């Protein structure tokens, strides 16, 4: 039931966010005068680089793209939160559909989501001057403030906050469960009762939240040398391979054992920490030359990050291989591994109780969207009555799309219910 509720809430939140982000992208395209106006507005900027519209442009070259694609592949396939949200389905056939669907959404979603930030290059300098482009971290919010009406802006802020809280809550619960059940209960206190496990689960959640907060504070200092995309690549590339590669390797390579997994995690972590520390030392030693030497700046920033990802992946794989090759596996571990792989090889089929009433989860999503859309209509009417009909058409379109989505889900839920029966 917890997974079902979480899936329904995530589905509802994602639909509302998609409607808002899609409207923001359309309004941004309209504000700059269409595709032609976007291109002309960007080329009209005096300091526009010639490679602005190139898919790969320095300092983010093919090497950077390739390494980031590798770590993104690992993240999509081994992140506990994503696995719990999207891959907990009844059959392998359903899992294949989920993988294809998520791949398509993950490709199209960023194109729509980040388009307003791209359009800001042509739109915001006309309103706020060319200096606004230096505030790259704020252009998305500034763009939304300038082109979204009051009602939609409030919905966008609420949607972003709820999405952040949902993601953090999911990650905290998953990590806390792993620390509590797989480490504390299995290694430290196998005889712990339910009350103690709940207590330690809450303490672990608090610990993870505190570490996340400290990391966020540390990002303030990294922002002095790196932008957000560089920070993302550096953090994910330093610790992601060490955590994610052993998880995936244990599922697909039978010769990997627990000693090899520990060796892989250890080697990858040592490599990641060492390269980050060394990079920080070199940056501090050469900080006076970074502004004038573009080659040095590249190899100490984007080039270093890309090379570090490759080295961390290599160190983790070598640790897995060497640790598994030189260690002697206990017989009970071999039996457990064989039983696990044997269960994985058996196609799963959902257990259907013919006496149980079939209910589609889309029904709740549909009614929630309907109520949400009607509340939005009430807000629009209230603003119009008070003499504040700002961007009434845009707000009306958003409310109409929300209500239409709710109707579609209700109709779809009836079809699903009939098919299940």
Strand, helix or coil for residue 270:
helix
Q: What is the CB neighbour count within 10 angstroms for residue 324?
A: 20
Q: Report how far residue 346's alpha carbon sits from residue 401's, in angstroms, rounded to the nearest whole number.
A: 43
* DSSP at 57: B
Residue finishing a domain among 148, 174, 190: 148
In tens digits, the chain (421 residues) has pLDDT values of: 455 555 566 666 677 777 788 888 888 888 888 888 888 888 887 777 777 778 888 888 899 899 989 998 888 888 766 666 656 677 777 778 877 887 787 788 888 888 998 888 888 888 888 778 777 778 888 888 888 877 777 777 877 777 777 777 777 887 788 788 877 887 788 888 888 888 888 998 899 888 888 877 777 777 766 777 888 888 888 888 998 899 888 888 888 888 888 899 999 999 999 998 999 889 888 888 888 888 888 898 889 999 999 999 999 999 999 998 888 878 887 888 888 878 777 777 766 666 666 566 677 778 888 887 888 788 778 777 766 555 677 778 878 888 888 888 888 777 655 554 4
Tell me, yes or no, whether 16 and 139 share the same domain: yes
Q: Compute the distance between CA of residue 225 and CA of residue 302 in angstroms, rounded to an integer.
A: 11
pLDDT of residue 1: 47
58, 94: one domain = yes
Written in H, E and C, the secondary structure of 201-231 is HHHHHHHHHHHHHHHHHHHHHHCCCCCHHHH
Considering the domain architecture, whether residues 220 and 327 belong to the same structural domain is answered as no
Token digits of residue 275 = 């390269």
Judge if 312 and 362 occupy the same domain.
Answer: no
Q: In terms of domains, do 127 and 218 share one?
A: no
**Pair 122, 80 in one domain:** yes
Number of C-beta neighbours around residue 43 at 10 A? 12
Q: Are residues 257 and 323 in the same domain?
A: yes
Of 138, 142, 115, 145, the closest CA to residue 42 belongs to 115
Judgement on whether residues 300 and 340 belong to the same structural domain of the protein: yes
pTM: 0.75
Supply the pLDDT for residue 96.
80
**Domain-located, residue 411:** yes
Cα–Cα dist 208/202, whole Å: 10
CA-closest candidate to residue 284, choices 221, 337, 190: 221
In a domain, 135, yes or no: yes
Number of residues in the chain: 421
- Count of structural domains, the chain: 4
pLDDT in tens, 149-181: 777 777 778 777 777 777 777 778 877 887 888
Does 104 fall in a domain?
yes
- Measured in degrees and rounded to the nearest 5, phi and psi for residue 208 equal -65, -40
Short-list 22, 223, 53, CA closest to 121: 53
Is residue 205 domain-shared with residue 242, that is, in the same domain?
no
- pLDDT for res 67: 92
154 lies in some domain: no
Give the model's pLDDT for residue 421: 46
396 and 329 together in one domain: no
My answer on whether 47 and 89 are in the same domain is yes
Phi, psi (deg, nearest 5) at residue 191: -95, 10
Domain ranges, residue 173: 164-224
Q: State the pLDDT at residue 88.
A: 66
Two structure tokens written together for 127: 């309103």
């Amino acid at each position: 039931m917890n997974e079902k509720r979480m899936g329904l809430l995530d589905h509802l939140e994602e639909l509302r966010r998609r409607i808002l982000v899609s409207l923001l992208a359309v309004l941004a395209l309209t504000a700059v005068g269409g595709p032609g106006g976007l291109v002309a507005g960007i080329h009209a900027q005096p300091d526009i680089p010639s490679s602005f519209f190139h898919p790969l442009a320095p300092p983010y070259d093919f090497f950077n793209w390739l390494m980031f694609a590798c770590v993104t592949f690992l993240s999509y396939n081994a992140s506990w939160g994503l696995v719990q949200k999207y891959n907990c389905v009844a059959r392998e056939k359903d899992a294949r559909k989920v993988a294809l669907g998520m791949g398509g959404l993950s490709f199209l979603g960023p194109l729509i989501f980040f388009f307003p930030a791209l359009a800001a290059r042509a739109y915001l300098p006309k309103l706020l001057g060319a200096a606004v482009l230096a505030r790259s971290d704020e252009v998305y919010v500034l763009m939304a403030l300038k082109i979204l009406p009051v009602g939609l802006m409030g919905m966008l802020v609420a949607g972003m906050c709820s999405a952040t809280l949902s993601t953090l809550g999911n990650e905290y619960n998953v990590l806390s469960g792993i620390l509590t059940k797989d480490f504390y209960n299995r290694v430290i206190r196998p005889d712990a009762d339910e009350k103690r496990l709940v207590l330690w689960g809450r303490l672990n959640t608090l610990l993870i939240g505190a570490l996340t907060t400290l990391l966020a504070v540390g990002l303030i200092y990294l922002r002095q040398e790196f932008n957000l995309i560089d920070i993302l690549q550096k953090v994910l590339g330093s610790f992601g391979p060490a955590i994610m590669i052993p998880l995936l390797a244990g599922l697909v390579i039978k010769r990997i054992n627990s000693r090899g997994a520990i060796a892989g995690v250890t080697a990858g972590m040592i490599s990641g920490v060492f390269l980050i520390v060394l990079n920080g030392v070199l940056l501090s030693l050469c900080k006076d030359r970074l502004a004038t030497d573009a080659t040095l700046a590249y190899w100490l920033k984007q080039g270093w990050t890309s090379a570090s990802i490759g080295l961390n992946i290599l160190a983790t794989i070598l640790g897995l291989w060497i640790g598994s090759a030189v260690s002697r596996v206990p017989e009970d571990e071999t039996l457990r591994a064989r039983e696990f792989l044997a269960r994985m090889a058996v196609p799963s089929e959902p257990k259907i109780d013919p006496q149980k009433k079939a209910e589609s989860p889309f029904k709740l999503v549909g009614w929630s969207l309907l109520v949400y859309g009607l509340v939005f209509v009430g807000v629009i009417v209230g603003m119009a009555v008070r003499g504040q009909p700002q961007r009434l058409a845009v707000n009306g379109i958003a409310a109409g799309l929300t209500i239409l989505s709710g109707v579609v889900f209700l109709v779809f839920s009836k079809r699903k219910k009939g098919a299940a029966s």
